[in-house]
Amino acid sequence: MLYLVIPAMVLLLLFLVPHYWLHLSRAARLVSSIPGPKPLPLIGNTLEFGYGTVDIIANMTRLWKEYGHVFKIWLGPHLFIVVADAKYMEHFLSSNTNITKNMTYGFLEPWLGTGLLTSTGSKWKHHRKIITPTFHFKILEQFVEVFNNSGNVMIQKLKKEVNGGEFDIYNYITLCALDSICETAMGVSMNVQNDGNSEYVSALQGLADLIMKRTFIPWLFPKFIFDRSELGKLQKGYLKILHDTTNKVIADRKRELAEKHNDETSDETFENEIGQKKKLAFLDLLLQYTKGEGNLTDEEIREEVDTFMFEGHDTTASAMSFCLLLLSKNLECQEIAYAELKEIFGNSDREATMKDLQDMKYLECVIKESLRIYPSVPFFARLLDEDVHIDGVHIVKGTNILLSPVFLHRNQSYFPDPEKFDPDRFSAENIQGRNPYVYLPFSAGPRNCIGQKFAMMEMKSTISKVLRNFKLSPGSKEVVLSAELVLRNWGGIFLKLQNRE
């Protein structure tokens, strides 16, 4: 049999390689006017980036400063156009055609399947339509209690750090966000703040770090090679823990719902339960779509729950940690935010309500300015489904577009003195007339972040709790950015705490 297979493979390679080479040559020729570092044969610009997550963002920043707000790089044979210009951002993000995530999102598929983050085409449109109502105001309002409970546990944990030296607050914030997301996404209390060595937490964090490392190692792109590497073996173990946990939660929840409701439970009854503020997790809402043709399978539900777990904890933990760091370094802004909270709560220690969160106008400006300087997702990507003409440049179908909020937000044309922390940039009067594509912490267009209102509520709830209890002052550690699946400060977020009263 081999004597037939080998010649067939050789003939296929002889046909495909020249065809692929011609495609790359044409793609490179058409974007020759876009600046970028000179690529090496086969490996492209891979050696420009180093191997660590700190090296990656440091070298991307170097290239951005050298080549400007639109430049090109090659990762192996793959062409990437890096974009930090509002006109390009609008062109790509507002498109209803070029909505396919690029190949690096495929590295998430063993974990997230083809859920809302990684899918495209009809499946993405169908799931987006189903999931959008789960972020209705009435449903989000019920999560305020969850945020309060998780935040209260964190505050008790932080009290041991009061009047001590500087410490890393990142892990406290991350575990708090995980407690919130476990209960809002899956309807279970994992109590990770009191069990920081949780196998699920370790697997979640380990897999996220692993995927980012793979993104900048082109020889690990092919699944056949990756699966046999050390990273591939680690991933297999992490996936078993994560999927086993989610599958068990789904099975348990389905059994509970089956015992509580018979098959004739109507949509009207379900809506009444929401109206009565019955606490329903994201999973419960998805389980309502398991009946009938065209609705969600158990596997699709797992994909969406895993996606929500991934997108809903690391991003908010990064944003909240950087926000607290910036407030510790900008005491005047910290006191203005605290004065707003005193106006809302007086001298009471009552829990925040949805209305209270809505009244935190200045704190919202603080969070938005923090996300400008340190956007949780520093890069996101698209794979062009069709040729694009922009600024006289022809970019061919199949090109990777790497959109960079972290560089866009530092474009002096849009934000003068971009390194300065100034929440007033987002006051009602200052945002009037601003191009919406100069500020993209939650992306934009058809594939914008579906959970951005959820995230803002959680961030306001948690940060306001910290400010009501503690006065923040900065630690001595400098910011060294690390481009993981979310933006982090290498080594942690260090600050000091004093009691407010």
Residues at the binding site for heme are 449
Cβ–Cβ < 8 Å for 493, 324 = yes
Structure tokens at 4: 């037939």
- The CA–CA distances, whole Å, from 213 to 54, 188, 235, 295, 476 equal 11, 31, 12, 36, 28
- Is 458 within 8 Å of 469 (Cβ atoms)? no
Residues 6+ apart with CB under 8 A from 335: none
- 230-260 and 298-329 helices, crossing angle to 10°: 110
Q: Is residue 390 helix, strand or coil?
A: strand
Decide if 231 contacts 51 (C-beta within 8 A).
Answer: no
Are the CB atoms for 376 and 208 separated by under 8 Å? no
What burial class does residue 109 get, using C-beta atoms within 10 Å of its C-beta: 0-12 exposed, 13-18 middle, 19+ buried? middle
Between the alpha carbon of residue 477 and those of residues 32, 317, 486, 494, the distances in Å are 42, 19, 20, 6
Binding residues: 449
Cα distance between residue 48 and residue 74, in whole Å: 10
CB 128 within 8 Å of CB 336 = no
Is 425 in contact with 127 (CB distance < 8 Å)? no
If one counts every other C-beta atom within 10 angstroms of the C-beta of residue 500, the result is 13
Q: CA-CA distance, 264 to 291, in Å (whole number)?
A: 11
Give the residue carrying structure tokens 């692993």: 210
